[in-house]
A and B are shown apart, each in its own frame.
Chain A
Amino acid sequence: MQSSFASSVENPVIEQESRTAEELDVPWQVVVHNDPVNLMSYVTMVFQKVFGLTKEKAEKHMLEVHQLGRSILWSGMRERAELYVQQLHGYLLLATVERTN
Protein backbone atom coordinates (compact mmCIF):
# COMPACT_ATOMS: atom_id res chain seq x y z
CA MET A 1 0.00 0.00 0.00
CA GLN A 2 1.37 3.36 -0.96
CA SER A 3 0.76 6.52 0.81
CA SER A 4 -0.56 9.45 -1.11
CA PHE A 5 2.75 11.17 -0.42
CA ALA A 6 4.68 8.37 -2.16
CA SER A 7 2.27 8.48 -5.07
CA SER A 8 2.79 12.19 -5.55
CA VAL A 9 6.56 11.72 -5.44
CA GLU A 10 6.38 9.01 -8.05
CA ASN A 11 4.24 11.16 -10.33
CA PRO A 12 5.54 14.64 -9.79
CA VAL A 13 3.83 17.53 -11.53
CA ILE A 14 6.41 19.35 -13.55
CA GLU A 15 5.64 23.04 -13.83
CA GLN A 16 6.91 25.09 -16.71
CA GLU A 17 9.13 27.94 -15.68
CA SER A 18 7.94 31.23 -17.09
CA ARG A 19 9.82 33.67 -14.96
CA THR A 20 9.94 37.23 -16.06
CA ALA A 21 13.03 39.33 -15.91
CA GLU A 22 12.13 40.99 -12.62
CA GLU A 23 11.54 37.60 -10.98
CA LEU A 24 15.01 36.63 -12.06
CA ASP A 25 16.19 39.74 -10.28
CA VAL A 26 17.70 41.38 -13.33
CA PRO A 27 18.35 44.92 -12.20
CA TRP A 28 16.50 47.81 -13.74
CA GLN A 29 17.65 51.37 -13.70
CA VAL A 30 16.07 54.77 -13.31
CA VAL A 31 17.39 57.13 -15.95
CA VAL A 32 16.82 60.88 -16.00
CA HIS A 33 17.17 62.61 -19.37
CA ASN A 34 18.20 66.15 -20.20
CA ASP A 35 15.56 68.80 -20.64
CA PRO A 36 16.42 72.38 -21.64
CA VAL A 37 13.53 73.86 -19.64
CA ASN A 38 13.94 72.44 -16.13
CA LEU A 39 16.22 74.56 -13.96
CA MET A 40 19.44 73.01 -12.67
CA SER A 41 18.61 74.02 -9.11
CA TYR A 42 15.14 72.48 -9.45
CA VAL A 43 16.52 69.18 -10.77
CA THR A 44 19.05 69.09 -7.90
CA MET A 45 16.26 69.67 -5.37
CA VAL A 46 14.17 66.87 -6.91
CA PHE A 47 17.07 64.40 -6.74
CA GLN A 48 17.60 65.26 -3.09
CA LYS A 49 13.91 64.80 -2.28
CA VAL A 50 13.23 61.63 -4.26
CA PHE A 51 16.47 59.73 -3.64
CA GLY A 52 17.57 61.34 -0.38
CA LEU A 53 20.90 62.36 -1.90
CA THR A 54 23.27 64.91 -0.43
CA LYS A 55 23.39 68.20 -2.29
CA GLU A 56 26.84 67.35 -3.68
CA LYS A 57 25.72 63.99 -5.02
CA ALA A 58 22.49 65.42 -6.40
CA GLU A 59 24.47 68.14 -8.20
CA LYS A 60 26.83 65.53 -9.64
CA HIS A 61 23.88 63.67 -11.18
CA MET A 62 22.29 66.92 -12.33
CA LEU A 63 25.50 67.91 -14.13
CA GLU A 64 25.74 64.46 -15.67
CA VAL A 65 22.21 64.91 -17.06
CA HIS A 66 23.08 68.38 -18.30
CA GLN A 67 26.41 67.48 -19.89
CA LEU A 68 25.92 63.89 -21.01
CA GLY A 69 22.19 63.96 -21.68
CA ARG A 70 21.32 61.32 -19.08
CA SER A 71 22.21 59.97 -15.70
CA ILE A 72 21.43 56.70 -13.95
CA LEU A 73 19.99 57.64 -10.58
CA TRP A 74 19.17 54.24 -9.17
CA SER A 75 19.22 50.58 -10.07
CA GLY A 76 17.50 47.61 -8.51
CA MET A 77 14.17 45.82 -8.59
CA ARG A 78 11.76 46.87 -11.26
CA GLU A 79 8.81 47.71 -9.01
CA ARG A 80 10.84 50.20 -6.99
CA ALA A 81 12.31 51.67 -10.17
CA GLU A 82 8.78 52.27 -11.48
CA LEU A 83 7.85 54.05 -8.26
CA TYR A 84 10.86 56.32 -8.55
CA VAL A 85 9.99 57.13 -12.17
CA GLN A 86 6.43 57.95 -11.11
CA GLN A 87 7.75 60.33 -8.44
CA LEU A 88 10.10 61.98 -10.93
CA HIS A 89 7.24 62.44 -13.42
CA GLY A 90 5.30 64.07 -10.60
CA TYR A 91 8.07 66.68 -10.56
CA LEU A 92 7.88 66.84 -14.37
CA LEU A 93 11.34 65.45 -15.03
CA LEU A 94 12.00 63.30 -18.09
CA ALA A 95 12.63 59.91 -16.51
CA THR A 96 12.45 56.33 -17.73
CA VAL A 97 12.87 52.87 -16.35
CA GLU A 98 15.32 50.78 -18.36
CA ARG A 99 16.57 47.24 -18.23
CA THR A 100 20.22 47.12 -17.19
CA ASN A 101 22.41 45.86 -19.99
Chain B
Amino acid sequence: MEFRRKKDSLEISELDPFLAELLRQIPESTNTDGVEAAQQRIFSAPAGNSEPEFCAEWKIYVEPELRHLFRSATETVAADLEQLNGCTKPFANCTLSIPTANAEAWLNALNQARLAIAAKYNFSDGELCDHYRSPIGSRRDLGLFQINFYGFLQEFILHELNP
Protein backbone atom coordinates (compact mmCIF):
# COMPACT_ATOMS: atom_id res chain seq x y z
CA MET B 1 0.00 0.00 0.00
CA GLU B 2 1.35 3.42 -0.95
CA PHE B 3 0.22 6.90 0.04
CA ARG B 4 0.78 9.93 -2.09
CA ARG B 5 -0.29 13.55 -1.97
CA LYS B 6 -1.37 14.88 -5.33
CA LYS B 7 -2.42 18.41 -6.20
CA ASP B 8 -6.04 18.19 -5.05
CA SER B 9 -6.25 14.70 -3.69
CA LEU B 10 -4.71 12.05 -1.46
CA GLU B 11 -4.03 8.81 -3.24
CA ILE B 12 -3.81 5.33 -1.77
CA SER B 13 -2.45 2.88 -4.31
CA GLU B 14 -1.37 -0.76 -4.28
CA LEU B 15 -4.35 -1.43 -2.05
CA ASP B 16 -4.68 -5.18 -1.62
CA PRO B 17 -8.15 -6.78 -1.69
CA PHE B 18 -8.28 -7.32 2.09
CA LEU B 19 -7.53 -3.67 2.94
CA ALA B 20 -9.83 -2.53 0.14
CA GLU B 21 -12.59 -4.56 1.76
CA LEU B 22 -11.90 -2.94 5.14
CA LEU B 23 -12.22 0.44 3.46
CA ARG B 24 -15.53 -0.60 1.92
CA GLN B 25 -16.72 -1.44 5.43
CA ILE B 26 -16.19 2.11 6.79
CA PRO B 27 -19.77 3.32 6.16
CA GLU B 28 -21.31 0.17 7.62
CA SER B 29 -18.97 0.32 10.63
CA THR B 30 -20.31 3.76 11.57
CA ASN B 31 -23.78 2.26 12.05
CA THR B 32 -24.63 2.20 15.76
CA ASP B 33 -28.18 0.84 15.43
CA GLY B 34 -28.90 -1.59 18.23
CA VAL B 35 -25.56 -1.01 19.95
CA GLU B 36 -26.38 1.06 23.00
CA ALA B 37 -22.75 1.53 24.10
CA ALA B 38 -21.80 2.88 20.68
CA GLN B 39 -24.76 5.27 20.59
CA GLN B 40 -23.88 6.54 24.05
CA ARG B 41 -20.31 7.19 22.97
CA ILE B 42 -21.11 8.84 19.64
CA PHE B 43 -23.85 10.96 21.23
CA SER B 44 -22.23 11.58 24.60
CA ALA B 45 -23.76 13.84 27.24
CA PRO B 46 -22.86 17.54 26.93
CA ALA B 47 -22.91 18.09 30.70
CA GLY B 48 -22.95 16.25 34.00
CA ASN B 49 -25.94 14.97 35.97
CA SER B 50 -26.45 18.38 37.55
CA GLU B 51 -27.73 19.73 34.21
CA PRO B 52 -30.67 17.45 33.29
CA GLU B 53 -32.66 20.15 31.49
CA PHE B 54 -29.74 21.14 29.33
CA CYS B 55 -29.06 17.49 28.47
CA ALA B 56 -32.73 16.94 27.57
CA GLU B 57 -32.79 20.02 25.32
CA TRP B 58 -29.54 18.88 23.71
CA LYS B 59 -31.19 15.58 22.74
CA ILE B 60 -34.06 17.42 21.10
CA TYR B 61 -32.24 20.24 19.33
CA VAL B 62 -28.56 19.38 18.92
CA GLU B 63 -28.47 15.61 18.44
CA PRO B 64 -30.42 15.73 15.16
CA GLU B 65 -27.87 18.23 13.82
CA LEU B 66 -25.01 15.97 14.88
CA ARG B 67 -26.74 12.97 13.27
CA HIS B 68 -27.06 14.95 10.04
CA LEU B 69 -23.38 15.95 10.18
CA PHE B 70 -22.22 12.38 10.80
CA ARG B 71 -24.50 10.94 8.10
CA SER B 72 -23.29 13.53 5.62
CA ALA B 73 -19.63 12.61 6.31
CA THR B 74 -20.42 8.91 5.91
CA GLU B 75 -22.23 9.52 2.62
CA THR B 76 -19.26 11.48 1.27
CA VAL B 77 -16.93 8.60 2.13
CA ALA B 78 -19.31 6.04 0.65
CA ALA B 79 -19.38 8.03 -2.60
CA ASP B 80 -15.56 8.15 -2.75
CA LEU B 81 -15.41 4.42 -2.08
CA GLU B 82 -17.44 3.77 -5.24
CA GLN B 83 -14.05 3.95 -7.03
CA LEU B 84 -13.15 0.59 -5.50
CA ASN B 85 -16.05 -1.00 -7.36
CA GLY B 86 -14.15 -0.24 -10.54
CA CYS B 87 -11.59 -2.91 -9.60
CA THR B 88 -12.73 -5.49 -12.09
CA LYS B 89 -10.27 -8.26 -11.24
CA PRO B 90 -11.23 -9.75 -7.87
CA PHE B 91 -7.70 -10.11 -6.48
CA ALA B 92 -6.05 -7.12 -8.17
CA ASN B 93 -4.69 -4.21 -6.16
CA CYS B 94 -6.77 -1.03 -6.29
CA THR B 95 -6.17 2.71 -6.11
CA LEU B 96 -8.32 5.12 -4.16
CA SER B 97 -8.24 8.86 -4.63
CA ILE B 98 -9.63 11.06 -1.83
CA PRO B 99 -10.29 14.67 -2.87
CA THR B 100 -8.68 16.96 -0.27
CA ALA B 101 -12.04 18.76 -0.07
CA ASN B 102 -13.44 15.52 1.40
CA ALA B 103 -10.59 14.98 3.87
CA GLU B 104 -12.56 16.31 6.86
CA ALA B 105 -15.46 14.01 6.04
CA TRP B 106 -13.03 11.09 5.92
CA LEU B 107 -11.52 12.01 9.30
CA ASN B 108 -15.01 12.21 10.76
CA ALA B 109 -16.29 8.95 9.28
CA LEU B 110 -13.13 7.09 10.26
CA ASN B 111 -13.52 8.40 13.78
CA GLN B 112 -17.17 7.37 13.92
CA ALA B 113 -16.20 3.88 12.78
CA ARG B 114 -13.33 3.56 15.27
CA LEU B 115 -15.46 4.74 18.20
CA ALA B 116 -18.42 2.54 17.23
CA ILE B 117 -16.26 -0.59 16.86
CA ALA B 118 -14.40 0.11 20.12
CA ALA B 119 -17.69 0.52 21.99
CA LYS B 120 -19.25 -2.51 20.33
CA TYR B 121 -16.44 -4.85 21.39
CA ASN B 122 -15.69 -3.03 24.64
CA PHE B 123 -11.94 -2.98 24.05
CA SER B 124 -9.78 -2.16 27.06
CA ASP B 125 -7.20 0.63 27.03
CA GLY B 126 -4.49 -2.04 26.91
CA GLU B 127 -6.00 -3.69 23.85
CA LEU B 128 -6.37 -0.35 22.08
CA CYS B 129 -2.69 0.41 22.67
CA ASP B 130 -1.57 -2.98 21.36
CA HIS B 131 -0.90 -2.06 17.73
CA TYR B 132 0.96 -5.24 16.91
CA ARG B 133 -1.57 -7.82 17.97
CA SER B 134 -1.94 -10.68 15.53
CA PRO B 135 -3.07 -12.92 14.02
CA ILE B 136 -6.73 -12.15 13.37
CA GLY B 137 -8.56 -15.09 14.85
CA SER B 138 -12.04 -13.74 15.55
CA ARG B 139 -14.48 -11.01 14.55
CA ARG B 140 -13.35 -9.14 17.66
CA ASP B 141 -9.68 -9.32 16.58
CA LEU B 142 -10.71 -8.05 13.17
CA GLY B 143 -12.48 -5.16 14.93
CA LEU B 144 -9.25 -4.21 16.67
CA PHE B 145 -7.38 -4.43 13.38
CA GLN B 146 -9.99 -2.16 11.79
CA ILE B 147 -9.56 0.41 14.57
CA ASN B 148 -5.80 0.44 14.04
CA PHE B 149 -6.04 0.52 10.25
CA TYR B 150 -8.57 3.35 10.28
CA GLY B 151 -6.37 5.21 12.80
CA PHE B 152 -3.41 4.76 10.47
CA LEU B 153 -5.46 6.31 7.66
CA GLN B 154 -6.43 9.21 9.90
CA GLU B 155 -2.74 9.80 10.68
CA PHE B 156 -1.95 9.80 6.96
CA ILE B 157 -4.71 12.28 6.17
CA LEU B 158 -3.73 14.56 9.09
CA HIS B 159 -0.09 14.44 8.09
CA GLU B 160 -0.80 15.28 4.49
CA LEU B 161 -3.13 18.12 5.40
CA ASN B 162 -0.64 19.63 7.88
CA PRO B 163 2.80 18.58 6.67
- B66 & A41 in contact (Cβ 8 Å cutoff): no
Indicate if B93 sits at the interface (CB-CB under 8 A).
no
Given A90-B69, A91-B108; A37-B62 close (CB under 8 Å) = no
User: Which partner residue on chain A sits nearest B127 by CB separation?
Assistant: A36
Q: Please determine whether A92 and B46 come into contact, CB atoms closer than 8 angstroms.
A: no
List the A side residues contacting B151 at CB < 8 Å: 39
Is the pair A96, B42 in contact by a Cβ cutoff of 8 Å? no
What residues of chain A lie closer than 8 Å to B65, measured between beta carbons?
A: 86
Interface size on B, residues (CB 8 A): 31
Say whether A42 faces chain B, with CB atoms less than 8 Å apart.
yes
CB–CB A42/B46 < 8 A: no
Summarize A's interface: helix, strand, loop or mixed: mixed
Q: Is A54 close to B, CB under 8 A?
A: no
> When A and B form their complex, what is the total count of cross-chain residue pairs whose Cβ atoms lie within 8 Å?
62
Other A-B pairs beyond A37-B115, A92-B112, A96-B46, 4, CB < 8 Å = A37-B114, A89-B46, A92-B108, A99-B50
Of the candidates A37, A39, A85, A91, the one whose C-beta lies within 8 Å of that of B118 is A37
Which A42-101 residues have a C-beta within 8 angstroms of B? Answer: 42, 45, 82, 85-86, 89-92, 94-99
Known contacts A89-B66, A90-B69; is-contact A37 B147 (Cβ 8 Å): yes
Using CB atoms, name the residue of chain A closest to B151.
Answer: A39
Task: Check B162 for interface membership: any CB of A closer than 8 A.
Answer: yes
B45 beta carbon closer than 8 Å to chain A = yes
Once A38-B111, A41-B158 are accepted as A-B contacts, the answer to whether A89 and B44 lie under 8 Å apart by CB is yes
Judge if B107 is at the interface, Cβ distance under 8 Å.
Answer: yes
